[in-house]
Amino acid sequence: MRRPIARALTGALGLIAAGAGPLATAPPAAADSVVVGGQPTRITEAPWVVALSSRDRFGGTRAGQFCGGVVVAPTKVLTAAHCLGREVLGGEPWQLSDFTVIAGRTSLRGRGGQEVRVSGTWVNPAYDRRTNSGDLAVLTLAKALPESYVIEVARPDDAALSPGTAAAVYGWGDTTGKGTYAMSLRSARVRVLPDEACERAYQSGSGAAYRGDTMLCAGDPEGGRDACQGDSGGPLVAGGRLIGLVSWGSGCGQPENPGVYTRVPTVLPSRI
């Protein structure tokens, strides 16, 4: 039931027929509405959220969106390392001729905001694609975004990382767990969960296992609210600070399978 992320992303990109993956056999507990169980939001409410795009590779219908990202400095965007994997991009990131970050735009159908070219990529050398540990990459932008788009990264000892903290996840990903990708930005309210909740759900033995040192567990104890395919690399925010990046999980919105996020404050090097 634990989908390798490459497959998850492949599904997210529509390269596998929607419904062909394990998600089809295990629908989320509450598939009612990024983000599953979320609500529409405007980019002005969350200006640090960006979409990663390549129309050449992913088509123009949704402006080439294939992952999320978050602005942490005017020319620096964090995303998930797995978003830049060969399985997703079909090659190396620099081989994508039109790799951009879309900032300041709520709807992928709209023309607002700006599209900025990605001029450099750095993948966390400690990222392990077998276990998903350290799932973080840094994009350098060819042109600076406004300072007002930048979100502060929490420190490793920030209380916002404690279990029980209210947090929000943002993205243009699947809203049902069945391949229904959003055209407009959504957010879902979740809670930081104790490591044990993810340790229980994702034990070692088959592929990715939860590791509290590099990963963060968050979700809705009652199920229904969660990140999903296409949200990868997007932000998990608590107390106005960045605490996580959407990384992986089994299905979407199932209470027994919380979302797993990159623990940004510990995984991100102090200088980028």
Check 54, 133, 187, 232 and give the catalytic one: 232
Active site residue 213: no
CB of 10 to ligand 4AZ, least distance (A): 9
CB of 228 to ligand 4AZ, least distance (A): 5
Residue from 115, 135, 220, 231 that binds ligand 4AZ (CB under 6 A)? 231
Amino acid identity for residue 76 in this structure: K
Stretch that binds ligand 4AZ, among 51-59, 100-108, 181-189, 222-230 (CB under 6 A): 222-230
The tokens describing 214, both together, are: 């590099």
CB of 250 to ligand 4AZ, least distance (A): 7
Residue from 84, 259, 262, 264 that binds ligand 4AZ (CB under 6 A)? 259
d(CA 69, CA 47): 11
Check 33, 53, 54, 82 and give the catalytic one: 82
Produce one character per residue of 118-133: b if its CB has 16 or more CB atoms within 10 Å, e if not.
beebbbbeebebebbb
Residue window 233-252: x/- pattern of binding to ligand 4AZ, with contact defined by CB under 6 A: -------------x-xx--x
Half-sphere exposure in the Cβ direction for 145 (13 Å, CA)? 31
- Which of 47, 253 has the CB closer to ligand 4AZ? 253
Query: Residue 194: exposed, middle, or buried by beta-carbon count in 10 A (0-12, 13-18, 19+)?
Result: middle
Position 226 contacts ligand 4AZ (CB under 6 A) = yes
Structural contact between residues 195 and 210, judged by C-beta atoms closer than 8 angstroms? yes
Rounded-to-10 torsion of CA 192, 208, 156, 103:
-80
- Which of 29, 268 has the CB closer to ligand 4AZ? 29
d(CA 144, CA 157): 30
Position 81 contacts ligand 4AZ (CB under 6 A) = no
Query: Residue 208: exposed, middle, or buried by beta-carbon count in 10 A (0-12, 13-18, 19+)?
Result: buried
Residue located via tokens 């295990």: 26
Position 121 contacts ligand 4AZ (CB under 6 A) = no
What kind and span of H or E run contains 56?
Answer: helix 55-58
The tokens describing 226, both together, are: 């969660």
Please name which of 137, 131, 125, 155 lies closest in space to residue 93, comparing C-alpha atoms. 137
Number of residues counted as binding ligand 4AZ (CB under 6 A): 14
Active site residue 158: no
- Which of 87, 158 has the CB closer to ligand 4AZ? 87
Restricting to residues 8-67, which ones interact with ligand 4AZ according to CB under 6 A?
8-9, 12
Active site residue 82: yes
| Interface residues toward ligand 4AZ, by CB under 6 A | 8-9, 12, 226-229, 231-232, 246, 248-249, 252, 259
The catalytic residues are 82, 135, 232
